[in-house]
Structure 1
Amino acid sequence: MTGETNGTTELPLVISVDDHVIEPAHLFETWLPAKYRDRGPKPLTAGIGELAYIGGKYKFTTDPEGQQTDWWQYEGDLFPYKRIIAAVGFSRDEMTLDGITREQMRRGCWDPKARLADMDLNHVEASLCFPTFPRFCGQTFAEARDKEVGLACVRAYNDWMVEEWCGDSGGRLIPLCLIPLWDVDLAVQEVRRNAARGVRAVTFSEIPTYLGLPSIHSGYWDPFFAECEATGTVVCMHIGSSSQMPAASPDAPPAVQAALSFNNAMASMMDFLFSGVLVSFPRLKLAYAEGQMGWIPYALERADDVWEEHRAWGGVRDLIPEPPSTYYYRQIYCCFFRDRHGVASLDTIGVDNATFETDYPHVDSTWPHTRRIAAEHVAGLSPETTYKILRGNAIRMLELDLDRRG
């Protein structure tokens, strides 16, 4: 499927592999079984006090006289929505840490019909959305004390995602589901349950040990990886899905973490390349969201050099039989929204490995200028390569029922 550009060539309609959804207030009241609703998340609108982003963590206070904000209340804790995560429609100087209500947001943040309309305005045909209140890979429920309710919340979120958020979109809204991170057997069951109804993407932590979970080197996650491989489910890892963002100093301004955000994706990719996971599961697909891609050429060069020069003492001589870049090109997808250096390095990054995102409705979002920004990035690329990075690779990665060229 194609659309218009600036009058010279046609630009394919974009498939965005990293957007976000603000959960509607009725989600858990509607989708959580009745016996859990008293203990499940509840929506709340109330004033917010001071809000800061320190060392990669949000710190806030409540204030009855403060800015009216929509929150979730869960197990005695409060989770506020912030303007920077529902930033579309605001000017750059208005994209702050202030609290926000759903009424103050652009409706496409939480309403699927309005989202489709905003996609139409933005040259986007299809969109994969990460969660907000559950956090990028469901950490909110993994940290819950009552794991029975936490599991019910994971399943309720997934049911809402598949049946309500994506259900009437004609395939344009692509389901992305959670797993119960605290139990690999339950995670396998949830992947299988959702794959049976056509889901082909699941969120996972870029660095599980930061969440107090076993590492990917331990073998603990192998049943999960095996089920994802068997069902064609892509393991999607968003920057910040380790609940930590890199910072040079604990008192650095938030801009430092924003500029370094790709570091977590780079660290995670190295972990996988040297873990043996991609050797053991050769059809497993990994996707890194919002990590950009300009760093990948050197990372691959260094990984291959270490494999060649240091493997005798580095613990990978018998574990990784081929250069690590082999497994990247075979099984890993990256994505970008503003990365001219990455586009200039596509020959090394891989024209079959790069995908595109719009990051709607976050502060980095290219909405409503995605068509122009995408056209500027792909200027000079062949039609075949343009098609692949804006659309075709996402179709192949997610096994989408859209056109299957490229």
Structure 2
Amino acid sequence: MAELPKIISVDDHVVEPAHVWQEYLPQKFKADGPRVERRGIGDMKHIGGGTYQQSFDPDGQPADCWVFGDLVYIHKRHVAAVGYSRDEMTMTPMTYDEMRPGCYEPKARIADQEVNHVEASLCFPSFPRFCGQTFTEHPDRDMGLACVEAYNNWMVEEWCGDSNGALIPLIIVPLWDAELAAKEVRRNAERGVHAVTFSEIPPHLGLPSIHSGFWDPFLRACEETETTINMHIGSSSRMPATSPDAPVAVAASLSFNNSMASLSDWLFSGKLVQFPKLTLAYSEGQIGWLPYILERVDDVWREHRAWGEVKDLIPETPSSYYYRNVYGCFFRDRHGLVAIDEVGEDNITFETDYPHTDSTWPETKQVAEKLVEGLSDEQIYKAMRGNAIRMLHLDLDRDVETTIGVKRQAALDLLGD
């Protein structure tokens, strides 16, 4: 194998610095907008999704907390875990002073990327949660919209602004209104943004399903602006679990289940027929499960499409829409790479998950090199950066991408035949 190409990570996270909403909100919203307070923490237990059972004690361990109306979000070590040993990556309350600066400061993040063999990174939110549902849950829609716009302005202008492409903007949208969401996609597309985060399973958030037609203005805007819809595990504020008393490790092991359910939903929704140039990306879901679900949805389509209510909705095998429109993402999934012919070498991207407990930082290069043993140089290039460049419309590697793009189109044409 040649030298591993510099990585483009399509799933990392940013811990928003304390000034974001107090600086970027319009003046009339600042007094009631999100702010950071240092509080003593009593007890804290993860209930599921983005929900915690917590209490406060002035004499307890100090932590920096986002305060927004009745919501208090405590910074925790397992969210800002880089720099700690595996056994120290606990649900421990923490302050910004205890975090590695790369969690929240763009220049420090780029420096950490450099030592990790990473050229560019797409970062999901923390306090707004993975698809911005924190602001959808706020009762004041004007405040919610102002917070969404403030976050996006900070993301584009400050987090990514001086990074020279090392930090790739990922926006959130007002999920309660598809027309407003479409407007926000178009506003940011005008300044070069090609990625938006969205819920893997919107009904879990009390929102309409993708089958309903509600989201069509948003989907149309994404298609027309070449904005990729990125769906992170847990962006439905619900993780698969077997029982309330099961260890969190059970839910962590089953986390891909959300991506699998979401992909099945999309492939049978007809939305990839209605919007044929729409691009979907699954973040942190891994890829080893893809061969079976693609086999299964095609079998259901062939054998059960009449009573399964998709005979007139899905004219081609569901897997054909996956290969054309969908990207998976991996970082520890050797099994998925063994099945690369079925997963699709044009459909996989790589991530480092900085700064979460799953992160491979600062050993990502070594981890990746071991994972891709036995793949061709072209397959490695695609997995480490080429597919991410195409997925996110990055202005990189144009000559290489043109050559590979011609080959990919030929393969898709054969698939269509």
Q: Give the TM-score of the pair, scaled to structure 1.
A: 0.97
Deviation at 1:9, TM superposition (A): 2.4
- What's the % identity of the aligned pairs? 65
2:83 aligned partner: 89
Unaligned runs of 5+ in 2: 405-417
The code of the aligned residue for 1:163 comes to E
- Secondary structure of 1:82 counterpart: coil
Let me know the Cα RMSD of the aligned residues: 0.8
Alignment partner for residue 360 of structure 1, among 351, 354, 364?
354
1:15 and 2:8 correspond: yes
Alignment partner for residue 234 of structure 1, among 228, 242, 250?
228
1:343 and 2:346 correspond: no
- Secondary structure of 2:79 counterpart: helix
- Secondary structure of 1:348 counterpart: helix
* Off by >2 Å, runs of 4+ in structure 1: 54-58
Deviation at 1:60, TM superposition (A): 1.4
Alignment partner for residue 165 of structure 2, among 153, 168, 171?
171
Hey, what's the Cα distance between the residues in 1 that align with 2:286 and 2:264?
A: 15
Alignment partner for residue 304 of structure 1, among 290, 298, 308?
298
Deviation at 1:402, TM superposition (A): 1.5
1:3 aligned partner: none
Describe the shift of the 1:194–1:141 C-alpha distance in structure 2 as closer, same or farther (beyond 3 A). same
- 1:124-143 residue pairs with structure 2 within 5 A? 124-143=118-137
8 Å Cα contact 1:55-1:252 kept in structure 2: no
Deviation at 1:58, TM superposition (A): 2.2
2:410 aligned partner: none
8 Å Cα contact 2:6-2:384 kept in structure 1: yes
- Secondary structure of 1:19 counterpart: strand
Hey, what's the Cα distance between the residues in 2 that align with 1:54 and 1:43?
A: 23
- 1:23-102 residue pairs with structure 2 within 5 A? 23-56=16-49, 57-102=51-96
8 Å Cα contact 1:54-1:251 kept in structure 2: no
Deviations along 1:176-210, one digit per CA (max 9) or x if unpaired, are: 00000011111011000000000000010000000
Alignment partner for residue 265 of structure 1, among 259, 262, 281?
259
8 Å Cα contact 2:48-2:237 kept in structure 1: no
Hey, what's the Cα distance between the residues in 2 that align with 1:164 and 1:396?
A: 24
Hey, what's the Cα distance between the residues in 2 that align with 1:260 and 1:65?
A: 37
8 Å Cα contact 1:176-1:201 kept in structure 2: yes
The code of the aligned residue for 1:250 comes to P
Q: Report how many residues are paired.
A: 399
Hey, what's the Cα distance between the residues in 2 that align with 1:63 and 1:403?
A: 54
Unaligned runs of 5+ in 1: 1-7
Hey, what's the Cα distance between the residues in 1 that align with 2:363 and 2:330?
A: 15
1:146 and 2:140 correspond: yes
8 Å Cα contact 2:40-2:60 kept in structure 1: yes
Deviations along 1:367-392, one digit per CA (max 9) or x if unpaired, are: 00000000001111111000000000
Hey, what's the Cα distance between the residues in 1 that align with 2:372 and 2:262?
A: 27
Deviation at 1:55, TM superposition (A): 4.2
Deviation at 1:64, TM superposition (A): 1.2
Deviation at 1:54, TM superposition (A): 2.7
